[in-house]
Structure 1
């Protein structure tokens, strides 16, 4: 009865009170199933570039000496001639990139956390919300938007915001855990509420969801299994996934997104890679000349948001690395696949000779040694030395494995850098994230 009421109220809200959101949802479903996505994607890029050239002072100047102005974008070859947008350009040109003939209620100003350098500020286009894409992903996992949901965030939301959220979603129930420094009472209440409302979805940052999973495992606490656990904001170790699935009794869905473009790619239940939202974003994996690399080859990621007409992002070099997969998923979806993103280009360990050890390689090296830690972080100092901070879960095993990890890193660095280990109570947070690598190199 409760679920039927929630469905009826949700349908009323979307069909009557917010029909635009429902139309966008239905359009997104139709586009991903029936259209030639490559043609649709290219057409949307053409429209976006024409819009940027007409309304953005930054792009008018940036493309002034480019064939884009003269001949337009008539082929993929033409598109590849467009110079990428760097993170520095984005940070230094907010006013000139932004489209200014929009109403305040059509845009939302957001800033990145600064976990990979200085924060950048941009606008989200509220005329094209990410909600329909979120519903699409949930639908893959058999989760309906009106079903109860649970969230783990770092910090407690203001009381007014919590009240508005509860009112907006009624009678659907949504519970929240602020995981920055939860007390035993907070954790016990969250478990009690969780088992009471039996949420279909649990969502949160990788590290805080993982910490909650360890709390359940270490205290032998059982919760009602959700249909899926959705983790965000950091690379996911496979050992973390394994422990979370054991704690929650549910599959863990990895996804790729960021502040700039919220939902780029996500796993379906087959979990053979991330499905790229090709109807809303264009993603490239490129070499040093900004040209495409072959499938299954790692390249720098360039992003073009096909829905943001308030703050165009065209071939944006976000600082991540990844790779296309040269196969389609057996689930039958026409959305192409990419591998799970394991690290950021800006996140690496460097040696005095110039060797760079990428975050994705470190994750591969450390897999097999992570189950005894709650958290781990590598801090590189100005003299190239590295301190590996760790929060143990199983003290005796963590001491053994941290030495193995240090040895692996020492060998991988060709013995060029000094490696130390340090047991800590909490890993250093940068902005709202806890990155694997924190570098103080200049």
Structure 2
């Protein structure tokens, strides 16, 4: 049975984020056991995948045993077709949403209405803890799965407006001004283009909250947004198919959405890396029963944080995403150079910021730049 909307939202806003870490961990382990059992019994894709690997839910005593399960990714989920959906459900009766395609390929995921609600709540929570409130004028750069018709309906019942990727930059800026927006959330790339256009015009548009999401927030992007919108961007690390994964609080720390998913940082073979070291992000949704995503590899590179945060949110911390694995440059020794390091090198050449540059790597020991 679906949980009533307002009590569920209240619990998500004020319950889990304040929960004691040991209590949250117990709940997460119980949720993990349930989703693994469900996937084995009702989702043909996982039953076949795990049978081939010679493992099953009974072999997973807790989150520490997750490396025994094979990893999945967009390609394997797409190839599975309807076999990745709970076989008791009619895929045609589920809600559809398309990923952004920033990784090079957009795909369609299916969810129940309740699960879609949980995904939306995850984003609302991150905005709430950064000061956004329902009575404030907010603008969202709509994702590919939010139609204009649905966007207009939402605008009728909330102090919200939407701008769309197909709108010109002039139209988008005009919407912000006409609506007197206080908060702005949207795709990182789109917000960066907006910021650059404002700065090109010699203008600013001060905001209370700016929340970029959907792609790695590189240093020069953050600086342009800070200058154009006169506020510090609060990065929201997430994926359309997962919802919010981790998000910055007002103090700048990245809090993992630990009541909704299990996050691992692993090496290329799927084994955990030492805490504080960089690896690939792998996520398991704890509430996505219609289309479970278990050990879902995003190909993003990040690390768990050894720091603490006194903002009051008790979720565990991770560091900012450094980029996608294919953004890194391999060295002759086998190490990987982060794109963040390159941005710092090219940030100022001859005393002036470099707006656009390109690196071509011909071999591990040879590259050229333009």
TM-score interval w.r.t. the shorter chain?
0.7 to 0.9
Structure with greater Cα Rg: 1
Residues 330-409 of structure 1: pairs in structure 2 closer than 5 A = 330-349=310-329, 357-368=337-348, 372=353, 376=356, 378=358, 380=360, 385=362
The alpha carbon displacement at 1:44 in A equals 1.0
Equivalent residue, structure 1, for 2:177: 192
TM-score, normalised relative to structure 2: 0.84
* Residue equivalent to 1:170: 156
Match of 2:9 in 1: 25
CA drift at 1:265:
0.6
1:92 alignment partner in structure 2 = 79
Task: Please say if residues 351 and 417 of structure 1, whose CA atoms lie closer than 8 Å, have aligned partners that are also in contact.
Answer: no
8 Å contact 2:53–2:69 — kept in the other structure?
Answer: yes
Q: Counterpart in 1 of 2:288?
A: 308
User: Is the Cα contact below 8 Å between 2:46 and 2:84 reproduced in 1?
Assistant: yes
Q: Summarize the Cα distance change of 1:289–1:352 in structure 2 as closer, same or farther, 3 Å threshold.
A: closer
Q: Distance in 2 between matches of 1:113 and 1:290?
A: 25
Once the two structures are superposed, residues 193-233 of structure 1 have per-residue CA deviations (whole angstroms, 9 ceiling, x without a partner) of 1xxx332311122222122223333333343x322101112
Structure 2 distance, partners of 1:321, 1:23, is 36
Q: Deviations over 1:226-253 (max 9, x none)?
A: 2210111221123332332232222211
Hey, what's the Cα distance between the residues in 2 that align with 1:371 and 1:215?
A: 19
2:127 pairs, out of 107, 116, 138, with 138
Measure, in 1, the Cα distance between the counterparts of 2:107 and 2:168.
30
- Residues 333-375 of structure 1: per-residue CA shift (max 9 Å, x gap): 111111111211133346899775443443454445698465x
**Could you say which residue in structure 2 is the equivalent of 1:149?**
138
Indicate if the aligned counterparts of 1:198 and 1:226 stay in contact, CA closer than 8 A: no
In structure 2, the residue corresponding to 1:231 is in which secondary structure?
A: strand
For 2:189, the equivalent position in structure 1 comes to 207
Name the counterpart of 2:367: 417
* Deviation by residue 1:164-216 (Cα, 9 ceiling, x = unmatched): 433433353433444557265x35633531xxx33231112222212222333
- The residue that corresponds to 2:259 in the other structure is 279
How far is 1:254 from its partner? 0.6
1:34 maps to 2:28: no
CA contact (8 A) 1:147 1:172 kept: no
Decide which of 13, 38, 45 is 1:58's aligned counterpart.
45
- Structure 1 stretch 314-323 or stretch 61-70: which is displaced more? 61-70
> In structure 1, what is the equivalent of residue 210 of structure 2?
229
Q: CA RMSD in A?
A: 3.3
Three-state SS of the structure 2 residue aligned to 1:332 is coil
1:218 correspondence with 2:218:
no
Aligned to 1:436: none
Q: CA contact under 8 A between 2:347 and 2:353: conserved in structure 1?
A: no
1:210–1:69 Cα change, 3 Å: closer
* Distance in 2 separating the partners of 1:168 and 1:70: 41
Task: Map Cα deviations across residues 92-114 of structure 1 (whole Å, 9 max, x no partner).
Answer: 11222111322568632334344
Deviation larger for 135-144 or 117-126: 117-126
8 Å CA contact 1:112, 1:119 repeated in 2: yes
- Per the alignment, in what secondary structure is the counterpart of residue 226 of structure 1? coil
How far residue 316 of structure 1 moved from its aligned partner, in angstroms, is: 1.3
By how many angstroms is 1:56 displaced?
Answer: 0.8
Aligned length: 363
Unaligned runs of 5+ in 1: 1-17, 387-412, 422-442
CA distance in 2, matches of 1:296, 1:71: 30
CA distance in 2, matches of 1:297, 1:209: 30
Q: Is contact 1:227–1:250 with CA below 8 Å preserved after alignment? A: yes
CA distance 1:154–1:208, shift in 2 (3 Å): farther
**Cα shift at 1:285:** 0.6
How far the C-alpha of 1:47 sits from its partner, in A, is: 0.6
SS at match of 2:190: helix
Residue 241 (1) aligns with residue 222 (2): yes
